[in-house]
Structure 1
Amino acid sequence: MAHDLAFPVIADGQAADQWQTSNDADAAIANALADILTVDFSAGNVALTNTQFRSAMTFVPSGLSATRNLTVPALKRALFLVNNTDATDAINVVRGTTSIAVGAGEIGIFTTDGTANGLFGSVLSTGGSIPGVGKHTITIPASAMLPATTAGCANLAHLESSSNKINYGVLDFDASADEHAHFNIAMPKSWNEGTITFQVWWTTSATDTDGVAWGLQAVAVSDNEAIDASWGTPVVVTDDAQSAALELLVTAESTAVTIGGSPAAGDLVFFRIFRDVSDANDDMSEDARLISVKIFYTTDAATDD
């Protein structure tokens, strides 16, 4: 395996510090041969230098007495490991604003792309498979939603396709005014409590190419907090019909939705989806028929333990 060891070189005739220079090079060779660098956390958090980061494939801790940060530099590395051999404390592997926790007894498998926040990885527990740490999805069908009591869409309609008898549920949103539906998700503990994005699966009975605009907003509520909390700012995504009736139509992924409240691990997040008839793209005179909503969220832990 190739290494960029950045050996310190003894210059011709060098006398002062030549033993230290030689020792540094010997240490770099030892790290490369073992492919392991022991990181001393006894003084607190550690930021690896470029040379340290390049010198080994696997990083193991010593001197952990609490959860510590291991910050890696903005260098490209296709693969490196953090083997947290400590029995008690976690290591947060950090690049810019990205942080991935490697718990006691766990191994983190990482890659970096050299950008400011470009850290990606998965964390493996003892005897486990490698779960993904990053972007995940939850899909909510129309049958799991409630038409709003105030300014609500139509109740769930049960549809069946004509030839192959495929059955599915839809919520109809008409064109005269904004109509709403609600659902909630007990978010996974591994969720990073950050922004989410969404896509909408929908259909129409029309045979034109008119458009629709779907909006989504959300608020997170913790234990012992009032459910009557203020919604976050809505985000709208638009789409157009494709000339045939009852085709499956899928929007693009939205921009980031900031969830209202103060999101925390274990929160219940309430969502409100609506048809935004005042949006310039919403020129469909027929009902827009909602089938499902896909929520994209990001995790920063391997499990929900």
Structure 2
Amino acid sequence: MSFSDFYATGTVTVPAGGTAVVGAGTLWSTPIVAGDTLEAGGRAVRILDVVDNTHLTLAYGWPGAALAGSSYIIVYNAPSRTTGAYVAERLRELIERQRILDDGVPTYVAKGAGTNAPPSAPAASDLYLVGSAPTGAWAGYGGYLAVATDAGAWRFTAPAQGMRLYDTATDATWERHAAGWVNISPVPTSALGAANGVATLDSGGKVPAAQLPALAITETFPVASQAAMLALTAQAGDVAIRSDIRKSFILSASPATTLANWLEILAPLGAVSSVAGRTGDVTLGTADVSGLDASLAGKLTTGTRSMCIPAAAFTPRTTSGAAWGLVETAANKRMVRTLDFDPGTAEYAQICIPMPKSWNEGTFTARLIWQPGDGAVGNVRWAVRAACVDYYDGTDNLDRAWGTAVAVATATSGMSTATCYTDITTVTPAGTPANNALLFVEIFRDAADAADTYGADAKLVAVYVNVTLDAVNDA
């Protein structure tokens, strides 16, 4: 046990002239009594009352400077400690301490270890190792040693590293480490290799097979012949993969040298045995699959066709048309023809595309390649709409209304020499699309929309118009 004439665990806080002392990390209720002396910073005041584990009341105001989380000691010098019972208890403790010192290692005999609830009727001097979640009179003393006194109360001793305790209830030995109490009881011989005991090691430092659960497969061996399979150092459950006959075998019992012990791992029923009348490594052509050539004949040339149209091929509209621009790059003198769209007013440009017969007469998509007029940052809102005009259709004439415009806002690159692109999806032409009809496409900058925030011209360089085909050719 740990014996002392003073208590100094934790810290204290008390204002100058105050009598209320607050402790941190303290357990004052049991060791401290009224009349003991609090000493700190060269000052000392008698204790009038022990309120609880973390609160004391002084007999008079603290005479020194205020203490805040300060170290201290409480001297066990209360007059009540000089009674005969107290002196007898102290004497018993000192004798016990001397016995422990004589033994060389502090070891105690306890009635129980790890107990959280104090026994209801302990005998005087019964010792217990308090558990980690104590209750009742033991609350707050987790890991402490608790000794029953003659008065039916408890006296607690803080644990110290190296302490040992023998629990007579469980025949176990405990030792106090930095991390807490550890059970250091040796494993009984009867538990070695036994059920609910501990495993042992053989002469090779491994757990014997008899102490391991059954294993389905331990190792897999690729071999090139039967002879090589029978020469394996294998045990039941091992698998041999025969490359000479493309089969696998599992060892059902020892020894591996007996062919009958190797069982073939069968393929599932209904497994493919041949393909198009061929066995082995098979490479198929279109002729090997019935109807494949005919099915592919109408599919190989269908899909999507992309038509790339330079800005120079567009025609600015007479009313609110985009302006022609011509840019010569500074270093390499590259000439770029553009259509310049104003930031303040919507401007337009159009193109007429005679559509091929292979067009599926549906919607189309577009990608606009463009260049900002300067290095400023902002969004340009581009819009695309279309109308389809068929031959000899009096209601589907050249002046028919446009279809619904599809608009997308795209950020500039922040560099006047870098191009940007905007993808326009699912443009539906107005009119009645038909084979070989004329598709009019109009591109404009929706400058009045709030999403258009770029303050300079947007220069259109080229446009991709992507349509879907549904015929092999245009015949």
Question: Shorter-normalised TM-score: what interval?
Answer: 0.5 to 0.7
> Of 330, 333, 343, which residue of structure 2 is paired with 1:162?
330
Question: What is the RMSD of the two structures over their aligned residues, measured on CA atoms?
Answer: 2.1
1:303 paired to 2:473: yes
> Of 269, 291, 305, which residue of structure 2 is paired with 1:136?
305
> Of 418, 425, 441, which residue of structure 2 is paired with 1:247?
418
TM-score, with structure 2 as normaliser? 0.38
Letter in 2 for 1:304: D
Indicate the larger mover: 237-246 or 194-203: 237-246
Sort the Cα spacing of 1:280 and 1:58 in 2 relative to 1 into closer, same or farther, 3 A.
farther
Partner of 2:461: 291
Partner of 2:115: none
Residues 369 and 421 in structure 2, CA contact (< 8 A), matched pair in contact too: yes
> Within 1, Cα distance between the matches of 2:385 and 2:459?
19
Render the CA deviation track for 1:197-240: whole Å, top value 9, x for unaligned: 11110012221221101101011111123211111110012211
1:83 paired to 2:317: no
Partner of 2:264: none
Alignment of 1:1-305 (within 5 A): 33=276, 57-59=289-291, 81-83=292-294, 107-108=297-298, 121-122=299-300, 131=301, 133-154=302-323, 156-225=324-393, 226-251=397-422, 253-305=423-475
How far apart are residue 255 of structure 1 and its match? 2.1
> Within 2, Cα distance between the matches of 1:272 and 1:34?
59
How far apart are residue 160 of structure 1 and its match? 1.4
TM-score, with structure 1 as normaliser? 0.58
Q: Which has the larger radius of gyration?
A: 2
How far apart are residue 278 of structure 1 and its match? 2.8
Letter in 2 for 1:135: T
Letter in 2 for 1:143: A
> Within 2, Cα distance between the matches of 1:82 and 1:266?
29
> Within 1, Cα distance between the matches of 2:451 and 2:293?
49
How far apart are residue 34 of structure 1 and its match? 8.1
Render the CA deviation track for 1:238-290: whole Å, top value 9, x for unaligned: 21112111211112x22200011000010010111000113332111111111
> Within 1, Cα distance between the matches of 2:293 and 2:360?
20
Letter in 1 for 2:290: T
> Within 2, Cα distance between the matches of 1:143 and 1:170?
7
Partner of 1:19: none
Letter in 1 for 2:365: T
The gaps in structure 2 that reach 5 residues or longer are: 1-274, 279-287
SS at match of 1:83: helix
SS at match of 1:152: coil
Letter in 1 for 2:440: F
> Within 2, Cα distance between the matches of 1:234 and 1:83?
41
Partner of 1:68: none
> Within 1, Cα distance between the matches of 2:444 and 2:367?
13
> Within 2, Cα distance between the matches of 1:171 and 1:267?
26
Letter in 2 for 1:140: I
Partner of 1:50: none
> Within 1, Cα distance between the matches of 2:330 and 2:398?
42
Residues 384 and 424 in structure 2, CA contact (< 8 A), matched pair in contact too: no
Which runs of 4 or more aligned residues in structure 1 lie more than 6 Å from their structure 2 counterparts after TM superposition? none
How far apart are residue 298 of structure 1 and its match? 0.5
How far apart are residue 292 of structure 1 and its match? 0.9
Sort the Cα spacing of 1:213 and 1:302 in 2 relative to 1 into closer, same or farther, 3 A.
same
SS at match of 2:444: strand
Percent identity reads 35
Render the CA deviation track for 1:40-97: whole Å, top value 9, x for unaligned: xxxxxxxxxxxxxxxx8332xxxxxxxxxxxxxxxxxxxxx2517xxxxxxxxxxxxx
Aligned residues: 190
Sort the Cα spacing of 1:224 and 1:288 in 2 relative to 1 into closer, same or farther, 3 A.
same
Letter in 2 for 1:234: A
How far apart are residue 149 of structure 1 and its match? 1.0
